[in-house]
């Protein structure tokens, strides 16, 4: 199995949000946010889209302290990759084969896990990476089922 953790981290290297964005159809005063951390604090769900230099598109959904990353198949990857981050762990998998890994951030002791150039040792590090650029996120409605770990994937511990 190719290492799906490395592939997803490469595909999700930068995701962003717009300062002052608000949830559509909502009270702007209550739902305006200036950063991802601010949106999390105010319980504003976000959707961020990013296309990297190779043309790979990644969508991040952020709701509370949960993050979901979805990356489509491209010229360089033959399958889509997905990740759910919550409880200081990351479940990552590919559409085919139906395999994935679990990364427990509390067990990371070195600099081997990165998103772009940022070392990842916690869920907060991923949020900090998503904060770097702020021009593609918008408030949205996200169903809680987007953060359910799929039961048809075989997950192996990654660390």
pLDDT tens, position by position, 33-89? 888 888 888 888 999 987 776 677 889 999 988 999 998 766 666 678 899 999 989
Instruction: Give 133's pLDDT tier (boundaries 50, 70, 90).
Output: low
Contacts of 6 (CB under 8 A, 6+ apart): none
**Averaged confidence pLDDT in the chain:** 76
Residue 96: partners with Cβ closer than 8 Å, 6 or more residues away: 78, 79
pTM: 0.74
Residues near 49 by Cβ (< 8 Å), separated by ≥ 6? 15, 57, 58, 59, 60, 136
- CA gyration radius, the chain: 15
pLDDT at residue 38, as a whole number: 87
Residue 56 pLDDT: 76
> What tens digit of pLDDT does each residue of 90-104 get?
999 988 888 899 999
Taken in order 27, 134, 86, 1, the sign of the CA dihedral is: positive
CB-CB contact of 48 with 60 (8 Å):
yes
- pLDDT tens figures, 100-116: 999 998 888 888 887 77
Nearest to 64 by CA among 147, 150, 148, 149: 147
User: What are 138-154's pLDDT values in tens digits?
Assistant: 889 999 999 999 999 99
């Amino acid at each position: 199995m190719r290492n799906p953790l490395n592939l997803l981290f490469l595909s999700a290297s930068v995701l962003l949000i717009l300062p002052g964005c608000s949830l559509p159809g909502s009270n702007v005063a209550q739902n305006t946010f200036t950063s991802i951390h601010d949106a999390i604090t105010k319980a504003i769900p976000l959707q961020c889209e990013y296309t990297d230099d190779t043309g790979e598109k990644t969508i991040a959904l952020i709701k509370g302290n949960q993050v979901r990353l979805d990356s489509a198949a491209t010229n360089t990857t033959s399958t889509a990759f997905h990740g759910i981050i919550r409880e200081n762990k990351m479940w990552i998998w590919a559409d085919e084969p139906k395999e994935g890994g679990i990364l427990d951030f509390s067990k990371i002791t070195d600099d081997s896990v990165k998103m772009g150039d940022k070392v990842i040792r916690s869920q907060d590090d991923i949020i900090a990476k998503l904060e770097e650029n702020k021009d593609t996120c918008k408030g949205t409605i996200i169903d809680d089922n987007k953060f359910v770990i799929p039961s048809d994937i075989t997950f192996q511990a990654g660390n």
